[in-house]
């Protein structure tokens, strides 16, 4: 769960935990009540802005409000669900390339036309972006249905236009922005992997644009149970 929920004692007045921001017009921020299941020990408060400033931005309207006991139950359930999801994900994975980390990039033959190969970082995760192209060699199994699972972040999608190619054939393009980190699946046509042990997954920016930051590239069995 990447969207914060508000954890408030039952009956506590909203004006005690949603307060105006000093010096700002029509802006409010929660005070110590925002929580994320993915990081339940940290505070993840939220700033509320007027609707008229949300042009071309991802925004939320509805928010979950929980008591402390409801929050504890949600965290416990989320931990069990996330552990099972990760187990299934790993079982279906043929190879995982982590952009922005030296050894994984070497392992998957990272190549790039981008002159300034700056490592991007967001919320503790590394990634690659830029104008031009970059690629990774990913393992395949010729007798299986496969897909590429790519991780992006909603805050790194603005003004990006690019496509994803496998051995020179386009299999997809930039997605719409999601909330926080989010995964996008790209199906790989069977004829692109026939008789091969690996393929080259290439991210190619459109002319005058850039590739949004890629935080993970996973080659997966599309017919595995998830």
Query: Cα-Cα-Cα-Cα dihedral of 48, 53, 59, 61, to 10°?
Result: 60
Based on C-alpha coordinates, what's the Rg of the chain? 21
Q: Which of 150, 1, 158, 129 is nearest to 64 (CA)?
A: 1
Please indicate whether residue 52 or residue 200 has the higher confidence score (pLDDT).
200
Q: What is the pLDDT of residues 123-133, one digit of tens each?
A: 889 999 999 99
Q: Categorise residue 159: left if φ over 0, alpha if ψ from -120 to 50, beta otherwise.
A: left
Q: Which of 82, 218, 94 is nearest to 150 (CA)?
A: 218
Q: What is the pLDDT of residues 15-28, one digit of tens each?
A: 999 999 999 999 99
Residue 50 contacts residue 57 (beta carbons within 8 Å) = no
pTM passes above 0.75: no
Q: How confident is the model at residue 1 (pLDDT cuts 50, 70, 90)?
A: very low
Q: How far is CA 42 from CA 51, 71, 88, 173, 198, in A?
A: 27, 13, 27, 35, 41
pLDDT at 217 (0 to 100) = 97
The full set of domain ranges for the chain reads 5-66, 86-221
The mean pLDDT of 99-108, rounded to a whole number, is 95
Q: Which long-range contacts (CB under 8 A, 24 or more apart) does 14-18 make?
A: 18/48
Beta bridge partners of 214: 128
Please indicate whether residue 212 or residue 158 has the higher confidence score (pLDDT).
212
Give the integer Cα–Cα distance in Å for 124 and 88. Answer: 24
Q: How confident is the model at residue 155 (pLDDT cuts 50, 70, 90)?
A: confident
Does residue 46 register a pLDDT over 70? Answer: yes
Does residue 54 register a pLDDT over 80? Answer: no
Does residue 31 register a pLDDT over 80? Answer: yes
Q: How confident is the model at residue 226 (pLDDT cuts 50, 70, 90)?
A: very low
Please indicate whether residue 70 or residue 60 has the higher confidence score (pLDDT).
70
Q: Which long-range contacts (CB under 8 A, 24 or more apart) does 180-183 make?
A: 180/2, 180/3, 180/123, 180/153, 180/154, 180/155, 181/2, 181/123, 181/125, 181/151, 181/152, 181/153, 181/215, 182/2, 182/151, 182/152, 182/153, 182/154, 183/149, 183/150, 183/151, 183/152
pLDDT at 4 (0 to 100) = 86
Mean residue pLDDT across the chain: 89
Query: Which tokens belong to 2?
Result: 């990447």
- E strand or H helix that includes residue 139: strand 133-139
Beta bridge partners of 149: 185, 218
**The CATH number of domain 86-221, selected from 3.40.50.300, 3.20.20.30, 2.60.120.260, 3.30.70.3270:** 2.60.120.260
Give the integer Cα–Cα distance in Å for 71 and 21. Answer: 26
Query: Which tokens belong to 60?
Result: 């939320």
């Amino acid at each position: 769960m990447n969207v914060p929920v508000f954890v408030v004692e039952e009956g506590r007045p909203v004006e005690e935990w949603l307060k105006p921001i000093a010096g700002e017009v029509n802006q409010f921020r929660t005070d110590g009540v925002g929580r994320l299941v993915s990081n339940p020990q940290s505070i993840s408060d939220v700033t509320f802005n007027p609707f008229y400033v949300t042009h071309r931005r991802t925004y939320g309207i509805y928010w979950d409000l929980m008591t402390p006991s409801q929050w504890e139950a949600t965290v416990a359930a989320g931990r069990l669900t996330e552990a099972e999801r990760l187990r299934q994900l790993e079982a279906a994975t043929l190879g995982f390339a982590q952009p922005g980390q030296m050894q994984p990039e070497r392992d998957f033959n990272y190549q790039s036309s981008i002159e300034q190969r700056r490592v991007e970082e967001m919320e503790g995760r590394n990634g690659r972006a830029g104008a031009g192209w970059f690629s990774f060699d990913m393992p395949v199994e010729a007798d299986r249905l496969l897909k590429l699972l790519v991780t992006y972040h909603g805050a790194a999608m603005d003004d990006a236009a690019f496509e994803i190619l496998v051995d020179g054939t386009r299999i997809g393009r930039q997605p719409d922005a999601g909330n926080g980190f989010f995964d996008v699946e790209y199906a790989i046509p069977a004829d692109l992997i026939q008789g091969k042990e690996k393929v080259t997954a290439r991210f190619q920016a459109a002319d005058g644009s850039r590739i949004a930051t890629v935080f993970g590239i996973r080659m997966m069995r599309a017919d595995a149970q998830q």
